[in-house]
Chain A
Amino acid sequence: MKVLEDVEKILLTEIAVDLGRESLDPDEDLLAQRIIDSLGVVRLIVSLEKAFGIEVIDEEVVPENFQSLNSLVEYVEQKMRNK
């Protein structure tokens, strides 16, 4: 739960600030909605690495991991388990 809250906070306060929203639907398509764009994803990766102590390798920057809040959370949790 904490991971979901933290990832959502990063998205809303650092990456997609212009949205002016207070929450995200966990299954909302972040790519199609352009909540994450090509410049934002670089910034997002830096924030995720710092917040969760994980390393995001470039081969993992694929839609399956970044499509929605739920897929991001699943990805981060998997990286934390494999640390």
Chain B
Amino acid sequence: MDFEFTEEHLAIKKSAIRFAQKALSDGMIERDRDGVFSRELWRKCADFGIQGSAFPQEYGGSDADILSTMLLMEGLGYGCKDSGLIFAINGQMWTVQMPILRFGSDAQKDRYLPKLCSGEWIGAHGMTEPDSGSDAFSLSTTAKLEGDYYVLNGTKTFSTNAPMADVFMVFATVDKRKGFMGVTGFIVEKDFPGFSVGKDIGKMGLRTAPMAELILEDCRVPVENRLGKEGNGAAIFEDAIEWERSCILASLLGGMERQLERCIEYAKERKQFGKPIGKYQSVANKIVDMKVRMETARLILYKVAWMKQAHGKATMEAAIAKLYLSESWIKSCLDAIQIHGGYGYTTEFELERDLRDSVASTLYSGTSEIQRNIIARFLGL
């Protein structure tokens, strides 16, 4: 078993770090305070190749394997302080682009993937509804076939990127009696009749990734914009979420590494009672725990990458990774603030923003409770 990354892989991560540190982190305090999404930074990321990294060259991507993509995301998480931007990009890549790539017709791939990979268009995902969150497939949005169109009716909430998105992956049921197997995926463009984006939803963190409701009132979607077969929506969604759980966490790993290094540096420099605070066990132990969590998280994450590359599926392992990494990221953020004392609480030190951003990680892509449910099922419980 070889635990070393190749030189090529390490170069990918280093390149992402350099790019992110140079291009993506300016003005972060203000952008977070004002909840500003930066289209300019989105384009820079696309030009660097992030949105297209895991996608075929024929659509403007770079055909990177999953391990390379995860290392790219890890580098991004390390070098970029804008967790909202990273979250927004990952949301589009795994829950809009990847379903189109894996389940779309040639016409759908040709129409949407180049624009999404290039950064020209922005994609958003519409699954969660006011009355169906964790119980995602009990959704109420309906899709009724009328001639050459499906007519969709319903409301989606918590749709990241929605206020600025051009295209939406929306899930609706064609037959409520079939439960989760009535759920069907649709590609909805912002100008389709009957479609609108509702009010922005204010959030605790990830404030540079705006979020809003989607409103479908007799929204007419051409039959050719159905993704996959009727009733295939649940499988499409589960596939997308597994990709998201696997890859979005890589950026959290980068964030943990960044925080760890910062805490080590601070613990060496900051002196109290005549010696560096890192010499006190109560501080050193916190940093040790950050290190242990980070290394454990890395092992779990890259095992998922290996499994997806080798076997295609890693459902339980992705749930384990999501559960562990998200909860570790929050603990890392709390420890980083505690180690920095009063300064950690200030806006200027930017650690409080990491904590506010981190809380969402146990909620999106399935809550920690749902991850535990999934793992329990695989354990036969």
Contacts and interface: CB of A to CB of B under 8 A. Distances in A.
Interface of A: 14, 17, 31-32, 34, 37-43, 46, 58-59, 61-64, 66-67
A43 B239 CA distance: 14
B377 A62 contact: no
Interface of B: 102-103, 136-137, 175, 177-182, 228-232, 234-236, 238-239, 313, 315, 373-374, 377-378, 380
A31 B239 contact: no
Contact of A41 (B175, B228, B234, B380): B234
28 contacts: A31-B178, A31-B179, A31-B180, A32-B177, A32-B178, A32-B179, A34-B179, A38-B137, A38-B238, A39-B377, A40-B377, A41-B180, A42-B238, A42-B374, A42-B377, A43-B377, A43-B378, A58-B102, A58-B103, A58-B232, A58-B236, A58-B239, A59-B103, A62-B181, A62-B229, A62-B230, A63-B178, A67-B181
A63 B380 contact: no
A37 B178 contact: no
B139 to A, nearest CB: 11
Nearest to A17: B380
B374 A39 contact: yes
Given A59-B229, A62-B229, A62-B232, A37 B378 contact: no
Contacts of A42: 238, 315, 374, 377
Q: Of A31, A34, A58, A59, which is in contact with the most chain B CB atoms at under 10 Å from its CB?
A: A58
A37 B380 CA distance: 15
A70 to B, nearest CB: 16
Contacts of A43: 377-378
B241 to A, nearest CB: 11
A37 B229 contact: no
Contacts of A17: 380
Nearest to A42: B315
Contacts of B231: 62-64
Given A43-B377, A43-B378, A58-B103, A38 B232 contact: no
Contacts of B313: 46
Given A38-B180, A58-B103, A61-B232, 18 more contacts: A14-B380, A31-B180, A34-B179, A38-B137, A39-B373, A42-B238, A46-B313, A58-B232, A58-B238, A59-B103, A61-B181, A61-B234, A62-B231, A62-B232, A62-B235, A63-B178, A64-B231, A67-B181
B349 to A, nearest CB: 41
Contacts of A34: 179
Contacts of A67: 178, 181
A-B complex: 4 closest residue pairs judged by Cβ atoms: A61-B235, A38-B180, A58-B235, A63-B181
Given A58-B103, A59-B103, A59-B228, A37 B180 contact: yes
Nearest to B376: A39
